[in-house]
Structure formats: C-alpha cells, structure tokens
Amino acid sequence: MPKIFRKSDSEQENLIPVPPVLPPVEGLEQDRENDQNQPRVWLWTLLAALAVLLLIGYVVALGVLGFYDGLRDRALVGQQQAQEHYATAVENLEAGEYELAVAGFEQALRLNSDLQEARIQLEAAKELAQAAATPTSETRLDAVTLLYRQGVAHYENGNLASAVAVLEELKGLDTEFQQENVNVMLSTSHYQLGLRAVDDGRLDGAEEHFQAVLVLEPGHADAQEQLDLIHLYTAAMNYWDRDWAATIQSLKGLYALAPDYKDVQGRLVEAYQNQAQAYADEGDWCQAAGSFAAAAEISPSSVLVSSCNDATARCQATAEAPTPAPTTMVTAGPTPMTSVATPTPAGSSAAGTGQGRIAFTSYDVVRQRYDVYVVDLRQGNATLLLENASQPSFAPTGNALAFRNLDPSHLGLGVLDLKANSVQEVTAHSEDSTPSWSSNLEQLVFSSNKHGDRRWRVYAISPKAVRGEGEEWAYGQMASWSPDGTRIAYHGCDERGDNCGIWVIKAGGFGPSRASSHASDTSPSWSPDGKQLAFISSRAGNWEIYSVDLTTGQEVRLSDHPAADVAPIWSPNGRQIAFLSNREGAWALYVLDVRSRSVSKVIATGDAYPDPVSERLSWVTP
C-alpha cells in the first residue's frame, strides 16, 4: 500500500504566513492610501473558494486512506484463511484422505493464488487420488491374492457362504486369476449350499445355488438332477389340495427319481389317500379302491389295506357296467393263448360314433391287472387282445400292435403281430413305455427312466430288435411320432429344466422347439395332417383336452367337464378325438367331434386307473 506523508508540527511553525495586505509600491503610495479605505471584495471571494477546495481535498484524502486500509485488512484475512486450508489439506494428505486434500488445496489457492506450495501439493494429491481409484497391476495382484487366500481359508473351514462372497469379489477384480481353482471352489460351495437349503426347506434359495453351479459347469448332472427334483416337488405342492391327479403325477415322477427326497414318499401316500377319500365322498368306490391300492403299494399299512379292501367290495357291489369281456385274447408273452369267445359288454354304445378300431387299456382293481382291448366302432363289440399289457399303439397299417408288456416274465416293450398272433419282445426294461410307430414301420420311439439318474428320456429302436436298449434322442416322456415320420412330440423341458410342456424334435433328436405354453401339458397326439397336436393339460384345475396349431401356436380348449379327460387320440380322418374319462362316475371311452364339440360315449373301460395320465389310446381304420 502506498505511504501517505504528512508535514510535522515544527515544519508548520517555520512557515511565513501570507500577509493580508501587500507592502506599498514606490510611487504608488498615494494611490494605495487612496485605495485602503475601499473594500477588498474580490479577495474575500478568493479566500472562501480556497477554503472550500481545501476542505474537499481533506475529505477525499480521508476516503482514499480508509479504502486502502480496508483492502489491506481483507488481504491479510484471506492469506490467513488460505494458510488454514493449506494446513488442513496437508493433514488430509498425510492421512491418505486424498479427495479431501485435493479440495483443501484448491480452496487455499482460491484464497491466495500466490501460494505456490499449495499448487505443488495439489498436483501430488490428485495423482494419489487417481492411483487409489484405479489400482496399478501390482496393487490389483496384491488384492486378488489376498482375496484368494481368504476364499481358500473359508472354503477349507466349511464357511461356504463366506467363501462364495469372497471368491465372487475376486472374480470381479480378475476373472482369470486361479480361474480353475476358483470355479471349482465356487461350484462345490454352491452345490453344497443348495443341498443345505433343500434340507432346510428353502427351495427357492436351493434353486439359485444349483443354477449357479450350471453356469459354472453347464454339464453338471447332479445339479441338473437337483433342479429337476425341486421343480417336481414345487409343482406337486402347487397342485396340492387343488388337483390330486396332477399332484400325484408330479410326486410319482419325483418318487421314481429319488424315493428318499425330502418327504416325497409320505406326501405321495397322503396324496393317494386324499384322492381316494375324494372319490369315496362322491360315491365313486372303484376309483377310490384304485387310489387306496396305489397308496398301499407304497406303504402297506393295515389301515390302507383295510381301506382298499372295503372300497373294492363297495366297487363290486355298485359297479354300473362289467369289465369288457373278450371275444379273442392272447397273453403278452411270446406264446399266444387259445382264443375265447364271449359276449359284447353290456351298455356299449360304440356303433355310430365313427369308423375304425380303437385299442384301449382296462384295469381290473381286484386282480390289479392291466389288459388291452380293441373296440370296433361299427359293430360295437370289444375284443381282449393282451393280458398284463398297457399303452397300445397300432402300426399305421393296422397289422401290428406295440404295447407295454407287464407280464413279470417279459417286462419291457413288445410287438403283437395281429396276423400271426405272435409277440416279439423288443426291449427288456420295466420302465420302457408309450411306444409309437414311425410312418415307414422301421422304428419305434418310446420313453423310459431306466437309467440310474431316473430321468425320463426318449429313445428310438427297431421293432425287430430283441430285448434291445434303443438310441437316446432327448430328455422327455409320452413320445409320439408324427404321421410323416419327420418329427416326434413329447412332454419335456429345456436344457435348464424350465419351460416344460409339449416339445417337438426332428427324427434323430435334433432341433428341439417348444409347442405348448403350460408346464402340465402332456400326452401329445398328432392330427393326421401333422399340423396340430392334441394334448391334455391341468392348467384349468383339472385334466382337459386341448389342441395347438403348430403353425400359428394358437391353443384351443376342446373339452370342458369337471371330471378328468385323458389319453386323446385323433381319428384317422381328423374329424374326431377319442379319449378316456370318468365323467359319468366310471371310466369309459368317449369320442369328441372336433367341429361341434359334441361328445359320445363308446364303451365302459372298467375300474379306476391308478395313473390315468399315463394311459394311451390308438385308432386305426379297418
């Protein structure tokens, strides 16, 4: 600030004041004396003006002095604040709080731009902050190494949840660090955590763990099996108390895969009992007897056996129609029996419901035996073809019949030559089921869960094979070959076990695609032109018949009845669909007109089916 200098008092005392009257000039004394007596107006005016100017100058000087004093004071305050921010920023820098240090140095420079030390420190703080946010390869290696050691320690100590958390954090930093070991630990940890969640009843959490295993190891068979078990158990519990048939179907599949899984055995027995009691409450003692018998087969308690015997006795006393009596019959073994002639079953109304022959299965609850019959729709009579057999399938020519052989000495799939009246044993596993012919008669597709993992698979085999195994084509069941021989429809799911329903593959097991929209959809049957599939679904709360257009994907509900409608099969002309139903209180064969939706009863089929969803019909022209 510029200094303002002032005269001292001693200097002011030595000044000579200007006299108010100038001394007289020689020769002019007389004039001046004459003028002394006259007023000096102009002089007083000048003096007054000078006084005013002096006063104004003094005031201005005081203002300038105050302004410069204020600037000086504010500069001093700013410098002091800048030093304070600088000191705080240095402390933050030393403490590793780099972002705070950067902010402090910047504020110090705003208050005092000449603070060079703050400028230098600011650059250093920025570099450190950036290094902390983006670690160098060396610091990243240190971090992932530490996480890896922590993950291994948690894994070896059995702290699997902590191991998963640490190892997932490690993979977020470096996906390639000890990749094989990390993935093995993660996969094993997720699998074990999934099993623990199953034991604790937390199936949603278990499903997430098993899915994580499949992401790490897509071919992990055990994880996939656990997911299948969860889906079956969950489906059964969703149907519980709403649809006992659907509940039993899911539990049966689960029980076949893993009989010791959770409480599946007890649940299945309870489901059969509840179904039997529901039938009994409706007075349907034949079906009640079948459900009690199924429950007693799993858990042969005295209570269940007694209930089954009681229901069986009531069934025999109240049955409205007898089991269809045969006109000709052979055993399911390789050597046919002598034909026996008997009357057409009472109550038959087969005539007038269509043309051709329909093969169906009847179940005798007293003897607990399945038999295959064929009914001629023109004549209205039924013929017993095979004892201890089920799931018939006519060859397209009508000259042979594939079936599931239930004879204890000949379990597996068989083919009955209707002309020679002889049986060929094609496979040798009791689990082999639902055979279906190719259009050229050279192959059969069938389903089986014969392997140790108990998963259902679709196989193909020559009908001339002798106790063969077949070639695996897909995971699924209830397989059905298209009329042109190029495609197979079946009940299945995608590779992850999701999106279950009706699926279609090309012959050979290629190009799977989903054909229907609900997980319960099953028992597919091709229309003669190959453009539609009929199937059954419990999506509406009970088993009904639907169709799907394979070109548009449009699904249509064809039946609507509180009873169960199962085992649909198209007529050879595509105008009708035959099916089994208990809509009149006892199981019978019906025919539905596709266009009018009218339904006609063909013939009573006997006692209750233990597993009606697995039944199958076959329809050929004469």
Q: Which residues contact 387 (CB under 8 A, 6 or more apart)?
A: 329, 330, 331, 332, 369, 371, 407
Residue 575 is given by DSSP the state S
Sign of the CA dihedral running 231, 234, 238, 239: positive
Sign of the CA dihedral running 369, 434, 269, 264: positive
Token look-up 């995608």 returns: 494
pLDDT value at residue 315: 81
Q: Which residues contact 431 (CB under 8 A, 6 or more apart)?
A: 448, 449, 450
pLDDT value at residue 135: 56
* Residues forming beta bridges with residue 456, ordered by sequence position: none
Q: Which residues contact 140 (CB under 8 A, 6 or more apart)?
A: 173, 174
pLDDT value at residue 373: 94
Q: Which residues of the chain have pLDDT under 50?
A: 1-39, 64, 67, 71, 320-323, 325-328, 335-351
* Residues forming beta bridges with residue 468, ordered by sequence position: 427
CA nearest to 253, candidates 24, 497, 585, 481: 497
| Residue pair 147/170 in contact by the 8 Å Cβ criterion | yes
Distances (CA, A) of 248 to 83, 237, 251: 82, 10, 5
Q: Could you tell me where the beta strands, DSSP code E, fall in 327-484?
A: 330-331, 357-364, 369-376, 382-387, 389-394, 400-405, 412-417, 422-425, 433-437, 444-448, 457-461, 471-475, 477-481
Q: CA-to-CA distance for 199 and 202, rounded, in angstroms?
A: 8
| Residue pair 88/64 in contact by the 8 Å Cβ criterion | no
Q: CA-to-CA distance for 124 and 121, rounded, in angstroms?
A: 5
Query: Average per-residue pLDDT in the chain?
Result: 81
Number of H helices, E strands in the chain: 14, 25
CA nearest to 384, candidates 417, 342, 434: 342
Q: CA-to-CA distance for 27 and 543, rounded, in angstroms?
A: 152
pLDDT value at residue 49: 65
Neighbour tally for 212: CB within 10 Å: 20
What are the tens digits of pLDDT across the range 411-444?
A: 999 999 998 889 999 999 999 999 999 999 999 9
Residue 158 is given by DSSP the state T
Instruction: Output b/e per residue, 302-333; b: 16+ Cβ within 10 A.
Output: eebeebbeebbebbeeebebebbbbbbbbbbb
Half-sphere exposure of 387 toward its Cβ, with a 13 Å CA cutoff?
21
CA nearest to 492, candidates 458, 543, 525: 458
CA nearest to 430, candidates 388, 472, 479: 388
| Residue 540: both structure tokens together | 């509406």
* Residues forming beta bridges with residue 330, ordered by sequence position: 386
Main-chain dihedrals φ then ψ at residue 557, nearest 5 degrees: -85, 125
3-state SS of 13-57? Answer: HCCCCCCCCCCCCCCCHHHHHHHHCCCCHHHHHHHHHHHHHHHHH
| Residue 561: both structure tokens together | 């009845």
Residue 344 is given by DSSP the state P
pLDDT value at residue 342: 33
pLDDT value at residue 617: 97
What are the tens digits of pLDDT across the range 161-203?
A: 999 998 988 888 888 888 899 999 999 999 999 999 998 989 8
pLDDT value at residue 144: 82
pLDDT value at residue 53: 64
Q: Which residues contact 269 (CB under 8 A, 6 or more apart)?
A: 295, 298, 299, 304
Tell me whether strands 382-387 and 330-331 are parallel, antiparallel or unpaired: parallel
Angle between helices 244-257 and 221-239 (to 10 degrees): 160
pLDDT value at residue 332: 59
CA nearest to 466, candidates 429, 437, 428: 428
What residue ranges define each of the domains in the chain, with the CATH number in brackets?
50-133 (1.20.58), 226-318 (1.25.40), 327-620 (2.120.10.30)
Q: CA-to-CA distance for 128 and 96, rounded, in angstroms?
A: 9
Residue 487 is given by DSSP the state E
Q: CA-to-CA distance for 509 and 143, rounded, in angstroms?
A: 48
What are the tens digits of pLDDT across the range 545-584?
A: 999 999 999 999 999 998 899 999 999 999 999 999 988 8
